[in-house]
């Protein structure tokens, strides 16, 4: 029986590719037209003359419909994957397609997956992506003469959980089992790693059609370990195209008195001319922009490379910030970067290469950028390497290991609205973490778990990922339940959270599904916000934690008169406890952290003898009639307790 093929797929914003390992070398599988690139364009054909559902075309044939029937064509759908309706709506000013009418009318809920209206039919972004993946699957099956059912698909490193899940959904719709999602910069490092078995620190600068990623990796003994990752999910060659088109539209309106924005076909013709000019300017010093307008006019303009570079400078400059942050997160300076790999078609632009040279101080050190592999193909080639690693089908990759990271921290809300961070950002994945918590209210029978993503100290400033309940917990006194919470990130970066009350065995879990509604600005600024507000956040957290500690101590002291040990205290000791209690009760409502801390220390000192008497009684009770081993277990249980969670979290 023939071995099952696992292919590597680069599902790109502008173009998509499929590749496989041919012996010890990754190779791109060409399409039926002989081209390695499949444009990520999907078109809905006209309704057949005899009626029925119109067919769908993908790739170069679909691009031809952009000018004639732009309302039946969708492209750059990757920018819409896993995103909310309002986010998608902002994108549509650049595209000829529109949201389905019922959603535009406000009948859809805010986190509904948006649907694109193409002619008579409606499609979600994952459905559109599935058509592209299905075409790549057909290309591979025609090439192999056999079915292809499994694939590794690349995604931008900064794709959030919703965008990753949407990509997996698209794969399933296309009839593919997605064995792994691998970050695009990491895939590029894998592709280059086959040719250069070196140790060192590598930066992968990936500027594609719709996204920008920067990753810092360590290469050592066949292990590719991602040290940090950063990027911008809304930055790429499309933004350059949109700039050129916007300038041309304004000039045509001013010079010819025609506003082409109301004519989608003309706008798309202008966009294709802008893309052609952009590509030529990577090799030529000047190009002529020449396009026929409606009513017989022509728009002509000479564009020198210097003017082009001035126009796009603000777009390119946006890549500098993520690069500097990624180096800071990895703890390296530009001089410690041994090699820089360029990925994505937009890195062919000379101004981009000059920017990279300056960012990483390459020329000054005599280093060169790595452009040996086709920047359009290198991600797909790396995906094929990862597919081969999973298949274990060749000696070329049997000693390679890929260690990826999660770009944002994950945790849960705890007492007072603070965040218990479970998995830190830039942790190597797969990853897991387990913490133990308890209740803060007597007799609680259910627990609400609130899962968060972000770098801030307070839950209100982080992104809410999911909520679920742990129910039917036997009623016990506050502090007695032992609740184990486990976070697990799989190799695709998908999160699973489980909770279990250890005494009763009651358990619950959730897999974090697509959570649309996170704006690009929120994703890209989470880490920067955490730095900007670090001091303020930390002060708030300390105050909340001090108040929580005060509440816990006061709750114990309130029950003190009912404990037999209380009567063993002298009248002076009881008076001192009451005075310290009243002082703490008063100051804990203020924002004076120092006063609260002092009051806690004072009450702790006043109750120390009482605590010793209670412990003596507890130990005596624990060991009465027990063997030494049994007594030890009872004492350990009496003095060991997990952290308490907020009553608001345990309803």
Positions annotated as catalytic residues are 10, 78, 184, 206
Counting Cα atoms < 13 Å in the Cβ hemisphere of 439 gives 23
Per-state percent for the chain, helix, strand, coil, to nearest 5: 45, 25, 30
How far apart CA 86 and CA 113 sit, in angstroms, is 11
Structure tokens given for 300: 């002509």
Name the β-bridge partners of 26. Answer: 21
Q: Which residues contact 444 (CB under 8 A, 6 or more apart)?
A: 473, 475, 476, 478, 481, 650, 651
**CA quadruple 327, 430, 25, 8: dihedral positive or negative?**
negative
Output the CA angle 246-524-543, nearest 5 degrees.
145
User: What does 13-62 look like in DSSP terms, one character per residue?
Assistant: SSEEEEEEEETTEEEEPP-TTS-S-EESEEEEPPPPTT-SPPPEEETHHH
Closest by alpha carbon to 461, among 527, 372, 395? 527
How far apart CA 154 and CA 171 sit, in angstroms, is 11
Q: Which residues contact 474 (CB under 8 A, 6 or more apart)?
A: 445, 503, 504
Answer for the pair 548, 418: CB distance below 8 angstroms, yes or no.
Answer: no
How far apart CA 155 and CA 2 sit, in angstroms, is 29
Extended strands (E) in 186-262: 200-207, 212-220, 223-232
Structure tokens given for 290: 């020449």
Q: Which residues contact 514 (CB under 8 A, 6 or more apart)?
A: 82, 113, 161, 162, 163, 165, 166, 169
How far apart CA 432 and CA 488 sit, in angstroms, is 4
Structure tokens given for 156: 């931008």
Q: What is the largest CA-CA distance in the chain?
A: 104
Residue carrying structure tokens 């005494």: 503
In the β-sheet with 410-413, what is the strand arrangement from edge to edge? 419-423, 410-413, 447-453, 463-470
Q: Dihedral through CA 314, CA 319, CA 320, CA 322, nearest 10?
A: 140
Closest by alpha carbon to 26, among 164, 189, 157, 178? 189
Structure tokens given for 9: 């797929």
């Amino acid at each position: 029986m023939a071995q099952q093929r696992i292919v590597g797929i680069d599902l790109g914003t502008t173009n998509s590719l499929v590749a496989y390992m041919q012996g010890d070398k990754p190779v791109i599988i060409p399409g039926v037209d002989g081209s390695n690139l499949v444009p990520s364009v999907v078109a809905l054909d006209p309704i057949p003359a005899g009626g029925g559902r119109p067919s769908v075309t993908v790739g170069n044939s679909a691009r031809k419909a952009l000018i004639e029937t732009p309302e039946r064509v969708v492209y750059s759908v990757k920018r819409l994957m896993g995103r909310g309706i309002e986010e998608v709506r902002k994108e549509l000013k650049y595209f000829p397609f529109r949201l389905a009418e019922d959603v535009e009318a406000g009948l859809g809920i805010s986190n509904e997956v948006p649907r694109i209206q193409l002619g008579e039919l409606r499609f979600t972004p994952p459905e559109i992506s599935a058509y592209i993946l299905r075409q790549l699957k057909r290309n591979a099956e025609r090439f192999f003469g056999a079915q292809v059912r499994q694939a590794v698909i690349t995604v931008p490193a900064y794709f959030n959980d919703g965008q990753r899940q949407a990509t997996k959904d698209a794969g399933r719709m296309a009839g593919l089992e997605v064995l792994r999602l691998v970050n695009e910069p990491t895939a590029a490092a894998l592709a280059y790693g086959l040719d250069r078995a070196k140790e060192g620190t590598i930066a992968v600068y990936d500027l594609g059609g719709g996204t920008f990623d920067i990753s810092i990796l360590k290469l050592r003994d066949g292990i590719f370990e991602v040290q940090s990752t950063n990027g911008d999910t809304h930055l790429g060659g499309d933004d350059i195209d949109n700039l050129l088109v916007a300038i041309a539209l304004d000039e045509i309106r001013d010079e010819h008195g025609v506003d082409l924005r109301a004519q989608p076909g003309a706008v798309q013709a202008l966009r294709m001319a802008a893309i052609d000019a952009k590509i030529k300017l990577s090799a030529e010093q000047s190009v002529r922009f020449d396009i026929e307008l409606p009513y017989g006019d022509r728009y002509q303009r000479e564009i020198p490379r210097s003017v082009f570079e001035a126009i796009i400078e603000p777009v390119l400059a946006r890549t500098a910030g993520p690069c500097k942050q990624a180096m800071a997160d990895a703890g390296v300076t530009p001089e410690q970067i041994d090699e820089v790999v360029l990925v994505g078609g937009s890195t062919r632009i000379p101004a981009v290469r000059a920017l990279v040279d300056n960012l990483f101080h390459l020329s000054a050190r005599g280093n060169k950028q790595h452009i040996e592999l086709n920047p359009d193909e290198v991600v797909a080639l790396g995906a094929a390497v990862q597919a081969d690693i999973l298949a274990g089908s060749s000696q070329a990759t049997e000693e390679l290991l890929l260690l990826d990271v999660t770009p944002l921290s994950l945790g849960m809300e705890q007492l007072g609205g603070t965040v218990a961070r479970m998995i830190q950002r830039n942790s190597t994945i797969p990853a897991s973490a387990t913490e133990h918590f308890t209740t803060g209210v007597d007799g609680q029978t259910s627990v609400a778990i609130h899962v968060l993503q972000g770098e801030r100290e307070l839950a209100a400033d982080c992104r809410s990922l999911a909520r679920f309940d742990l129910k039917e917990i036997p009623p016990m006194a506050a502090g007695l339940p032992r609740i184990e919470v486990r976070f697990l990130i799989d190799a695709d970066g998908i999160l699973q959270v489980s909770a279990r009350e250890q005494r009763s065995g009651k358990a619950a879990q959730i897999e974090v599904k697509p959570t649309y509604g996170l704006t690009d600005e929120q994703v890209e600024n989470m880490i920067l916000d955490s730095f900007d507000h670090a001091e303020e956040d930390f002060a708030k957290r300390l105050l909340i934690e001090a108040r929580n500690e005060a509440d816990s101590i006061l709750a114990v002291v309130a029950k003190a008169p009912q404990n037999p040990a209380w009567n063993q205290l002298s009248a002076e000791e009881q008076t001192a406890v009451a005075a310290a209690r009243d002082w703490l009760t008063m100051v804990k409502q203020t924002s004076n952290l120092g006063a609260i801390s002092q009051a806690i220390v004072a009450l702790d000192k006043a109750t120390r003898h009482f605590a010793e008497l209670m412990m003596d009684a507890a130990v005596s009770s624990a060991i009465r009639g027990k063997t030494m081993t049994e007594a030890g277990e009872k004492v350990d249980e009496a003095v060991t307790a997990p952290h308490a969670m907020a009553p608001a979290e345990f309803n």
